[in-house]
Amino acid sequence: MKILTPKQTRELDQFTIDHEPIASIDLMERAAQKCMDWIISNIDASSYYIFCGTGNNGGDGLAITRMLDPFPYNKKAFLIHFSDKLSKDAKLNYKHLKKTDAACLSQIDFLEDIDFNQIEPDAIIIDAIFGSGLNRPVEGLAKLVIEKINELPNKVISIDIPSGLMAEYDESYAGSPAIIKADITLTFQTPKLSFLLPENSQFVGHWHVLDIGLLAEYIEEQKETHVLVEKDYITSIYKHRLQHSHKGNYGHALLIAGCYGKMGAAILASKGCLKAGVGLLTVHVPHWGYNIIQSSVPEAMASIDRSEMIFTEFPELNGFNAIAIGPGLNKKKNSVVAFENMLSKIEHHSLVVDADGLNILSENKHLLNKLPQQTILTPHPKEFERLAGSWKNDMHRLKILKDFCQQYQVITVLKGAYTVTCMPDGRCYFNTTGNPGMATAGSGDVLTGIILALLAQNYPPDKAATLAVYLHGKAGDKALLQESKESLIASDIIRNLGNAFKSLN
Ligand SMILES: NC(=O)C1=CN([C@@H]2O[C@H](COP(=O)(O)OP(=O)(O)OC[C@H]3O[C@@H](n4cnc5c(N)ncnc54)[C@H](OP(=O)(O)O)[C@@H]3O)[C@@H](O)[C@H]2O)[C@@H](O)CC1
Ligand SMILES: [K+]
């Protein structure tokens, strides 16, 4: 699903009004009806307090209040009068509600006009103060109201976007002094980019996209800049296996991993790779790790370094079509030299760099220029900061990520909630699978193995990265059916890769 910018959202709105065609007031009615349908099907409460602004978001709130009328609920709508400029459709809905139930509607000029004590703790608060039209930090009356709502114990449902949160912003934006902390956000047609940034999870709560029938035609014409990766996208890139195939069809991968004390990372990455369908896997390990890898991963072949403890050389690369380097490696001088030598020998191979491979890059930045185009890097935020520098807010981090990928022509998988895979041309793919139980030792090693396997099977690097991230998260979600977020470990992710693949059929 494409994520639209605020400008695209306004254009989509207008495109639908012009081409469906539909009057804007009827579109607002449809949006409010979708919210009502969702609320009636999912919420069990007897009182609703609806806080409305003066723009179209407020118009939605006023329409929702009217739609509650046939139901036996207590309801009260507050028009927060922070501006005299009531939008045209908000004004129509204001008049309409006044006719239906004038007693439930109050105009609020001062915070004291609202008796917050009357709001029962189990009542639902509907937040329709600001939507996608917010263009500056919230001040004055609206700020006071938002702060007060955030102090209440009530469940809050935000319409379209939590009031005070911008759909997009830049690095100079220090945030609004007041933003609604919603439990649920009901957003229209596509999610907003800010929902996917870690710093905003405290405001957005659980978000749901409501299809309000805005025309797909317009969305299809827009470039893929920010994409939410869901099952339909993944099934469109997943290649089914042929009935008559042999291991030669699925590539030969080389994994360079492990050192004294860190052989577990090599084992986990190897198993992830094998379980993701690679034809053949060779693992290059220090001499000391030979017995360990052979007995722990009998399906893999071993290539042995002359060094007892660390990575100092690499096998002839010709026989391999994909290479991963980094899990459980180390950053000693001889390993850096070997890494640099290997980069100069890479020709047609796809490459993944993880863990200590990334640390080597951040301590030897000149190597970044030697990475083959479309190399896949898989940092967590700390590793990324070491590679690319620090950021002021998460939107700024996204900009740094795009600049970094463009500068070095690499693909970066920035791990976290909504892991984002950024392409050399700046396209960003936000993943939707996975859970906090996966923040556990070795989880990243497994992901590296999966990416390596998909590259060896000839997936183009951009598709290999997005598919691997999705499968890794899905395997974690399947594992969580038997485990808890605390007990889930990397081996559980490996064990559930089969279930993750099956979920694509
Ligand atoms: N997309 C769709 O298809 C559909 C969208 N719909 C709904 O419309 C919503 C967008 O409505 P909207 O454009 O009227 O903006 P909204 O957020 O209500 O703000 C109102 C005004 O507030 C002002 N303002 C801004 N910042 C401010 C601040 N800090 N403090 C004080 N004032 C501030 C600013 O005016 P300004 O003062 O800048 O002239 C702005 O115009 C959208 O979220 C959805 O709920 C559905 O009804 C139908 C389908
Ligand atoms: K809102």
Q: Which amino acid is at 92?
A: L
Same domain, residue pair 197 and 104:
yes
Query: Is the CB–ligand 1 distance for residue 27 below 6 Å?
Result: yes
Angle made by CA atoms 167, 64, 25, in degrees to the nearest 5: 75
CATH number at residue 202: 3.40.50.10260
Query: Does residue 152 share a domain with residue 185?
Result: yes
Give the Cα separation of 162 and 187 in Å (integer): 9
**Are 386 and 359 spatial neighbours (Cβ–Cβ below 8 Å)?**
yes
Q: Give the Cα separation of 198 and 196 in Å (integer).
A: 6
Q: Which pLDDT score is estimated for 98?
A: 95
Ligand 1 pocket member 63 (CB < 6 A): no
**266/271 Cα distance (integer angstroms):** 9
To test the pocket of ligand 1, the residue of 129, 134, 158, 166 to mutate (highest count of ligand atoms within 8 Å of its CB) is 134
The number of beta carbons lying within 10 Å of the beta carbon of residue 36 is 17
The pLDDT of 394-408, averaged and rounded, is 97
Q: Stretch 299-321: mean pLDDT, rounded?
A: 96
The predicted structure's pLDDT at residue 241? 84
Distances (CA, A) of 6 to 131, 167, 365: 10, 7, 36
Residue 266 three-state SS: helix
In a domain, 237, yes or no: no
Angle value at C-alpha 28, between 24 and 4, nearest 5 degrees: 85
**Is 133 touching ligand 1 by the criterion CB < 6 Å?**
yes
177 phi/psi in degrees, rounded to 5: -70, -15
CA distances from 464 to 305, 370, 449, 471 (A): 28, 21, 11, 10
166 lines ligand 1 (CB under 6 A): no
Residue ranges with CB less than 5 Å from ion ligand 2: 127, 158-159, 163
60 lines ligand 1 (CB under 6 A): yes
Pocket lining: 114 vs ligand 1, CB cutoff 6 Å? no
Question: For ligand 1, what atom is nearest to the CA of residue 13?
Answer: 3
Best mutation site among 57, 81, 187, 218 for ligand 1 pocket (most ligand atoms within 8 Å of CB): 57
Which ligand does the CA of 56 lie closest to?
1
Cα(152) to centroid of ligand 1, in Å? 25
Q: Which helix (H) or strand (E) holds 48?
A: strand 47-52
pLDDT at position 176 is: 82
Residue 232 lies in a domain: no
**Residue 243's pLDDT band (boundaries 50, 70, 90)?**
confident
* Rounded mean pLDDT, 20-49: 97
Task: Note whether 348 and 377 are same-domain residues.
Answer: yes
CATH of the domain at 456: 3.40.1190.20
Would you say residue 218 has pLDDT above 80? Answer: yes
Cβ atoms 207, 18 nearer than 8 A: no
Q: What is the mean pLDDT of residues 205-229?
A: 96
Ligand nearest to the CA of 142: 1
Q: Are 46 and 76 in contact (CB under 8 A)?
A: no
pLDDT of 443 higher than 90: yes
Average pLDDT, integer, range 196-214: 96
Last residue of a domain, one of 222, 252, 281: 222
Q: Which two tokens stand for residue 503?
A: 């979920």
Both 180 and 305 in one domain: the answer is no
- The residue out of 188, 222, 256 marking a domain boundary is 222
Q: Which amino acid is at 144?
A: L
Average pLDDT taken over every residue of the chain: 96
Whether 159 lines ligand 1, by a CB cut-off of 6 Å, is: yes
Q: Ligand 1 test: best mutation among 66, 85, 132, most atoms within 8 Å of CB?
A: 132
Do residues 183 and 294 both lie within one domain?
Answer: no
Identify the residue whose C-alpha is closest to ligand 1 atom 26. 134
Residue closest by Cα to atom 47 of ligand 1: 28
Nearest ligand to the CA atom of 131: 1
Residue 244 has pLDDT above 80, yes or no: no
* Closest atom of ligand 1 to CA, residue 30: 48
Specify whether 141 is located in the same domain as 214. Answer: yes
Backbone angles phi, psi at 148, to 5 degrees: -65, -45
Is the CB of residue 132 less than 8 Å from the CB of residue 70?
no
126 & 271 share domain: no
Q: How far apart are CA 166 and CA 199, in angstroms?
A: 12
pLDDT number for residue 310: 95
Give me ligand 2 centre to Cα 130, in Å.
5
pLDDT number for residue 297: 98
Q: How many structural domains are present in the chain?
A: 2
236 found inside a domain: no
At residue 248, does pLDDT exceed 80?
no
Predicted-complex ipTM score: 0.98
Q: Is 272 annotated as a binding residue?
A: no
Residue 176's domain spans which residues?
2-222
Q: What is the pLDDT of residues 336-392, one digit of tens each?
A: 999 999 999 998 889 999 999 999 999 999 999 999 999 999 999 999 999 999 999
Residues 209 and 302 in one domain: no
The CA distance from 62 to 58, in Å, is 6
Which ligand places an atom closest to the C-alpha of 184?
2
Looking at the chain, the whole-number percentage of residues with pLDDT higher than 90 is: 95
The answer to whether residues 142 and 282 belong to one domain is no
Å from CA of 432 to ligand 1 middle: 28
What is the residue-wise DSSP string for 306-330?
A: SSSSS------STT-SEEEE-TT--
pLDDT digits (tens, 9 = 90+) for 456-472: 999 999 999 999 999 99
Mutate which of 56, 85, 108, 127 to test ligand 1's pocket (most atoms within 8 Å of Cβ)? 56
User: Which residues make Cβ contacts (< 8 Å) with residue 488, sequence separation at least 6?
Assistant: 435, 437, 438, 440, 476, 479, 480
Q: Is the CB of 489 under 6 A from ligand 1?
A: no
Does residue 459's CB lie within 6 angstroms of at least one atom of ligand 1? no
Buried residues in 431-461 as b, exposed as e (16+ CB within 10 A): bbbbeebbbbebbbbbbbbbbbbbbbbebeb
Residues 197 and 261 both lie in one domain: no
Residue type, 10: R
405 within a domain of the structure (yes/no): yes
Q: Does the N-terminal peptide bond of residue 21 adopt cis geometry, omega within 30 degrees of 0?
A: yes
Ligand 1 pocket member 31 (CB < 6 A): yes
Indicate if ligand 1 lies below 6 Å from the C-beta of 4.
no
- Please write the tens of the pLDDT for every residue from 262-289: 999 999 999 999 999 999 999 999 999 9
Higher pLDDT, 171 or 457: 457
Pair 154, 248 in one domain = no
Strand partners, 351: 323
Give the separation between CA 131 and CA 40, rounded to whole angstroms. 22
- Predicted pLDDT at 136: 92
Please state, in angstroms and as integers, the Cα–Cα distance from residue 39 to each residue in 65, 125, 186, 278, following that order: 12, 12, 9, 47
**Ligand 1 atom showing the smallest separation from residue 137 Cα:** 29
Can you tell me which atom of ligand 1 is nearest the CA of 16? 3
Residue 228: inside a domain = no
Q: Are residues 169 and 265 in the same domain?
A: no
Q: What pLDDT was estimated at residue 177?
A: 85
- Report the range of poorest mean pLDDT among 55-59, 182-186, 348-352, 476-480: 348-352
- Is the separation of the CB atoms in 404 and 388 below 8 Å? yes
Q: What are phi and psi of 358, to 5 degrees?
A: -70, -40
* Mean per-residue pLDDT, 139-164: 98
Give yes or no for residue 172 having a pLDDT over 90.
no
| Residue entry with tokens 């709001």 | 119
- Average pLDDT rounded to a whole number, residues 67-74: 94
Q: Is the dihedral of CA 361, 364, 369, 371 positive or negative?
A: negative
DSSP secondary structure of 187-198: EESS--GGGGSG
